[in-house]
Every structure is written in C-alpha cells, then in structure tokens.
Amino acid sequence: MTKVKIKKNDLKKPKNPILVTQPTLPNLDEFHASLKEIWASKWITNKGAFHQQFELELAKHLGVKYVSIFNNATIALLTALQALEIKGEVITTPYSFVATANSLMWNNLTPVFCDVDPIYGNLDAAKIENLITPNTTAIMPVHVYGTPCDVIAIEQVAKKHKLKVIYDAAHAFGVEVNNNSILNYGDLSVLSFHATKAFNTVEGGAIICHDDATKEKIDNLKNFGITDEITVVAPGINGKVNELIAAYGLLQLKTIDSDIEKCKTITTYYKEHLANIEGLKCMPDIKNTKLNYSYFPIFIDEEKFGMSRDELYFKLKENNIFGRRYFYPLITDFNTYKNFDSSNLPIAKKIASQVICLPIYAGLTTAEVNYITAIINS
Ligand SMILES: Cc1ncc(COP(=O)(O)O)c(C=O)c1O
C-alpha cells in the first residue's frame, strides 16, 4: 500500500474543535414522550417500570443472562467485589482508568499490578501465575478499548488457583468473540455507560452475572442491602438508577448498532490513511471478534516517527484536534499508587508513553478524519 496523498483542502483548520469523543443522544421527542409517562406515574426511582424494562432489554441486546444496572461503573465495580466477598490481593492491570484500582482500594484490597501484552495493552495472562501468593483471591482484568482479553487463558489460571475473575468491561459494550458476548466470561463483568463510552446513559453502568442468586445479591447490595421493609442483609450502597435515566437508556438501544457500524467505517478509514507511516502503529484487526470501535489508539515510536508522542499530541491540539493520552500516566505512576511495585511493568510503561487515542464517534465526518490524518501525515 502506498502512502496516502494529502490534498490542500484536507489541511484546512476546522472552526470547531474536534474532540476525542462526542455522545449520541436519544431522539428528544421520544425522550419527551417517556418523560410524560414518568410524570403521569410519579414513579421516578426505586426499580420502576423503565428500570425493569431496561435491564431485560439490555440482557437481550447483549446476549447475557442477567444485568443489574447501576448509577455508574465505579459503584458497580465496588459492588461486584462485595458481591463475591473478595479479600486480600487482586491481580490487575496498571494500564487502565484509575477507577479499576480505586475500586480495590475502597474495598481494602491490595492491587497487585501485572504487565500487559504489547499489541493490545490487555493483562498478559502468561504473567499472572508468577504474581499469585497465598493471599490472592481474584483477578480483575480490563478489556482495554473493548478489545477482548485472553479470556480462555485467564479462566485456566483462575480455575487452577481457585480465583474469582471480575472483568472491568467498561469499554466492552456489544463486544463478541465467535458470536458470544465477551461478558459471558468470568464470574462478573462491569460495563460503563458514561457519556464517553460506546453506549451512554449520561452516567451509568451495569454488572453482568450468570445466575439468579448472584443477581439478587447484587440487586440487594445496590439498594443499601435492604431486602424488605424491616430487613437489611448487608452493608450495601446506593447504586440505583432512576426512571429518567432508564428511559433514556432504553431509547439509546435503538441507535447503538448503527453507531457501532459508523465507528467501524471510521476505523477502516483511519487505518487506510495511517498505513505505512514509519513509527506509527494502529491496533491490528482480530479474527472472529465483533468490536464496538469506540476508541482509535495509535502508538508512536519517537525515533522512527521523528517526533515524540507528546509533540504529536500538542501539535494535534494546536490544530484543533483533541486526542487523549489514554492510558497515561500509568496507574502506578499516580502518587496514590507510587508505593506499589511497578518494576515488573516494562511493557505497560512503554505503551503508556506511546499512546494517543484519536477522535472517534458516530458523528465524526469523513472530512474531519481526512483532516486529522492529513495533519498526522504532514
Ligand atoms: C476502564 C474503566 N473502568 C472504569 C471506569 C469508570 O466508569 P464510570 O465513569 O462509569 O464510573 C472507566 C471510565 O472511564 C473506565 O474507562
């Protein structure tokens, strides 16, 4: 493949900033109609009709058994750890959003950071076993950018050492391997529906589980541990979703598939226009996998590219393109986590120093992608 030719028009600076992402919002008239129903019923929270319908529709849409919706993924992660009564040490990744490790700290657990694979940035399953001690009780991997972890290898280690697996699947809405939801792996998976995610409910999240007893336990925990008027079975939390957000989420299910298709087209376009640039790597395609294409990370090798990742990041900014160095800094580089061992994390450190996520969202135009890739090519 030859290098893409830049036309003069491609380099024309846009008036408005191009942000790393932009949420899809539901049709306002349809949302208004849902609000009218809520106004009429005056049932605005606590497991109302929209809440119940949203959980059922989500389970159907995702191809999973049970969904418990939450007010955000961080509270869902905290609750998932409580639901499985995780103690001691949990093996996790430093190449994630800080909420992953924070959820462990808030549960008085000790994160043990494991290195990642150099291509996709996911927890390297081959390096887990070395980190297991008598105190290890669980693994918390992250499907980074919605790319599936090596779920089979993780399952094998977990089974061998009797560990629980909770996936931080914040990025993995709709992701499938061999026509099976990635959320069907592990003991629990946690989705995020934050405004920046593939599927958004403004703020929100969910825990996916595989049996009704666990679903009931999670539902109780997200409602203060209350099971009936006079009974509290656990020191739960408030992770509930109100009816306005549940109604919003139901409408979002109408457009998510076409949004993902649009982002898939943008990904292909980016890959064509960024091919054959020395020192710039995109993530390779993966066989038999349905992705949601909500991130487009590139990795810059400063020597070969002739410019550092940060220089490119600021050059893009100067040109009204707001990418994101995601995930940088590494969790273990934050002050809060400085005391944790990071000597075993060379690959995570390297990719965190090379990554920029370029803008991608359903509404991004071809002209905008042309402009972004022309600036990089120039
Ligand atoms: C990997 C990961 N985990 C957890 C979270 C937290 O999600 P929320 O903002 O819904 O609490 C995020 C959100 O950005 C994330 O990217």
Cα–Cα distance list, 268 to 89, 291, 296, 316 (Å): 40, 13, 10, 21
Domains 8-22+256-377 and 28-252 share a fold: no
Decide if 77 contacts 107 (C-beta within 8 A): no
- Mutational pocket test of ligand 1: of 74, 120, 171, 188, the residue with most ligand atoms within 8 Å of the beta carbon: 74
For residue 370, the model assigns a pLDDT of 93
CATH, range 28-252: 3.40.640.10
Q: For 38-60, how does the pLDDT look when each residue is reduced to its tens digit (9 = 90+)? A: 999 999 999 999 999 999 999 99
Residues at CB less than 6 angstroms from ligand 1: 72-74, 96-97, 99-100, 142, 168, 170-171, 192, 194, 205
Atom of ligand 1 nearest to the CA of 75: 11
| Gap from CA of 77 to ligand 1 centroid (Å) | 9
- Mutational pocket test of ligand 1: of 72, 97, 182, 189, the residue with most ligand atoms within 8 Å of the beta carbon: 97
For residue 9, the model assigns a pLDDT of 73
In whole angstroms, what is the distance from residue 58 CA to residue 199 CA? 11
Decide if 356 contacts 300 (C-beta within 8 A): yes
The domain spans of the chain are: 8-22+256-377, 28-252
User: CA end-to-end span of the chain, whole Å?
Assistant: 18
Average pLDDT over residues 51-73: 98
Question: How is domain 8-22+256-377 classified at the CATH fold level?
Answer: Aspartate Aminotransferase, domain 1 (3.90.1150)
**Mean per-residue pLDDT over the chain, rounded:** 96
The strand pair at 289-290 and 176-177 is best described as: antiparallel
Q: For 125-142, how does the pLDDT look when each residue is reduced to its tens digit (9 = 90+)? A: 999 999 999 999 999 999
Q: DSSP letter at 198?
A: S
Say yes or no to pLDDT of 119 above 90: yes
For residue 1, the model assigns a pLDDT of 41
Amino acid identity of residue 283, one-letter, is: M
In whole angstroms, what is the distance from residue 182 CA to residue 175 CA? 6
| Gap from CA of 99 to ligand 1 centroid (Å) | 6
Q: For 241-255, how does the pLDDT look when each residue is reduced to its tens digit (9 = 90+)? A: 999 999 999 999 999
| Gap from CA of 170 to ligand 1 centroid (Å) | 6
The total of other beta-carbon atoms located within 10 Å of residue 374's CB is 20
For residue 3, the model assigns a pLDDT of 57
In whole angstroms, what is the distance from residue 88 CA to residue 294 CA? 34
Catalytic residue among 3, 65, 87, 197: 197
Average pLDDT over residues 196-221: 98
**Quick one: pLDDT band at residue 337, thresholds 50, 70, 90?**
very high
Q: For 255-270, how does the pLDDT look when each residue is reduced to its tens digit (9 = 90+)? A: 999 999 999 999 999 9
**Quick one: pLDDT band at residue 4, thresholds 50, 70, 90?**
low
For residue 13, the model assigns a pLDDT of 80
For residue 6, the model assigns a pLDDT of 67
Is 127 a catalytic site residue?
Answer: no
Average pLDDT over residues 57-82: 98
| Gap from CA of 91 to ligand 1 centroid (Å) | 18
Q: Which residues contact 77 (CB under 8 A, 6 or more apart)?
A: 99, 100, 103, 166, 168, 190
Which residues are 184's β-sheet partners? none
Q: For 84-104, how does the pLDDT look when each residue is reduced to its tens digit (9 = 90+)? A: 999 999 999 999 999 999 999
In whole angstroms, what is the distance from residue 266 CA to residue 373 CA? 12
Say yes or no to pLDDT of 171 above 60: yes
